[in-house]
Amino acid sequence: MSPEPSASAHRPLTRLSDDERLFRESVYEFADREIRPLVREMDEHAKLAPALISQLFEMGLMAIEIPEAHGGAGASFFHSVLAIEELSRVDPAVAVAVDVQNTLVINALLRWGSPQQQAHLLPRLATDTVGAYALSEAGSGSDAFALSARAVRTGDEWTLSGRKLWITNANEAGLFIVFANANPEAGYRGITAFLVEKGTPGFTVGKKEDKLGIRASSTCELLFDDCRVPASHVLGEVGKGYKVAIETLNEGRIGIGAQMVGLAQGALDHAVRYTSERKQFGSAISSFQSVQHQLARAATEIHAARLMVYEAARLRDVRQPFLTEAAMCKLYASEVAERVASLAVNLFGGNGFVKDYPVEKLFRDAKIGQIYEGTSNLQLQTIAKQIIGVS
């Protein structure tokens, strides 16, 4: 799986290369075979199956863009998007674990990591180490740079103090990219990114959140109490953590767009099957024109959202500006996912409201798309800044 940026630049957005098509199909086949039987149990217990995490590594899905020299697949960002989309058709909770690993943690290391950091950490991330991205705090959500976590330098070490909230992959992760302010007087220009490994003294994974959706994906608080990390564990430059955050989050939003497209497609798949089997008044309800039109509109919206996600991912791979496209695809795909999941519940009728059928879970899972990695209001503001120059 080698990236072909020049070919991608000229290929129609929905036309996949043979390599991309085979990759997408293999990911879905894996998800359908290995993940689908575990979905309900993982949701009920709010935990990813440990054996499944190992399988994700074995499939290469946790190291899609890591170069082959470091043990990864050496593929493109677009491949990551395809994997996230296809996993989400079966379980968005599994997909977001893969998403954070690839679009946030690995991308940050590939762009900002020193050769020494990459040589030490990328082979681990390709083999058995889950990564997490620790930016959010109680008072720092959409205002991502209002950080209260602090970093103080003493000799060859930094001491981190503070608390992070809503950190995805926290229970499973062995490596955390942690943002703290090393110079509060400089505001966001003091923010610095640190590489913190699980087991570092003074660092604790705290409370696990009891969530509405994507329950198998762990979301926890992180506690730093005089946590000392070597100066060599700064990712990028001191005071440039805001650049690390901004640039990786823009890519992460494309990943969330892909997650929501996959979720919506999964909900539509279920709805099409169910309406073909469910009979009322002597006929399958899919024979009713009103049902057909609802399914047709849902398919159209999913196609449009997929186009937007693919365009943003292609632009990123050919190193063209994609800020607006990333915001647009996340905004629109998350709205489509909620609408289509809700439609699926409606079409299932009473069965759609109970946990014995899969669409109830997808309906719960869809809500987070409009919240994490930048709320819909934040995406609208980003788009507005680009198209009319508002501040």
| Residues that are catalytic | 373
Cβ pair 147, 186 in contact under 8 A: no
Name beta bridge partners: 177: 133, 195
* Residue with tokens 């798949």, as numbered in its chain: 269
3-class SS of residue 332: helix
Spell out the SS3 assignment of 48-61: CCHHHHHHHHHCCC
Question: CA–CA separation, 107 vs 77, rounded Å?
Answer: 9
Question: CA–CA separation, 102 vs 118, rounded Å?
Answer: 14
Question: CA–CA separation, 187 vs 19, rounded Å?
Answer: 46
Residue type, 191: I
C-alpha pair distances (Å), 258 with each of 77, 271, 330, 332: 12, 20, 8, 11
Question: CA–CA separation, 255 vs 100, rounded Å?
Answer: 8
Burial of 148 from C-beta contacts in 10 A (0-12 / 13-18 / 19+): middle
> Could you give the maximum distance between any two Cα atoms of the chain, in Å?
79
3-class SS of residue 178: strand
* Residue with tokens 């069965």, as numbered in its chain: 351
Output b/e per residue, 213-250; b: 16+ Cβ within 10 A. bbbbbbbbbbbbeebbbeeebbbbebbbbbbbbeebbb
3-class SS of residue 358: coil
